[in-house]
Amino acid sequence: MVNKKTRIAVFCSGSGSNFKALFHALKVKKLNAEIVLCLSNRLQCGAMEFAHQNSIATVHLTEKQFDSFEAFAAAMVACLKERQIEIVLLAGYLRKVPEAVVDAFPDKIINIHPALLPKFGGEGMYGVHVHAAVIDAGETESGATVHFVNKEYDKGRILLQRKVPVLTIDTAESLAARVLECEHTLYPDALEKLLAEQKS
């Protein structure tokens, strides 16, 4: 009997570079999982376009479509349950995941953060802001962290981390580019680890 593939949803808001890295890594690593849904708060973004090109279902979901935040959260849970999603990967999703979704998928939602948590995490710490803060603090190393999502920004259990040196000539932009390269290998490795953990 063929093992059923783990059904994955990816949440994105931007170009989807980590989404693309995960999609390709699933094939290269021959992992027993597949991305079956791309959910975004932006109707038009690189991630949604990539999903369309690769026959992955897309859903555009934003608070503005609903009368209340509770209704929005309930719709997100329903969307994931309808599609029998087992793991949610946040890949550049620039919204806090509603608590109702976290409750519905305990230890099933992971995120990648462009710093070595617990340092340089929390509300407002995303994108170039993180790398500027790392440089301003005089850090000699940074990196990326994949962690479980809980009800607080960037506070969930760490699944995997990888370090990147901070060079004396670095700008926030040059450090960001190097950390992003690290993310593209770290995130697939973390997913592989998560799938192994769930299997054992």
Active site residues: 113
What's the rounded Cα separation, in Å, for the pair 44 and 130? Answer: 25
Single-letter amino acid code for the residue at 174: S
3-state SS, one letter per residue, for the chain: CCCCCEEEEEEECCCCHHHHHHHHHHHHCCCCEEEEEEEECCCCCHHHHHHHHCCCEEEECCHHHCCCHHHHHHHHHHHHHHCCCCEEEECCCCCCCCHHHHHHCCCCEEEEECCCCCCCCCCCCCCHHHHHHHHHCCCCEEEEEEEECCCCCCCCCEEEEEEEECCCCCCHHHHHHHHHHHHHHHHHHHHHHHHHHHHC
Give the pairing of strands 33-40 and 6-12: parallel
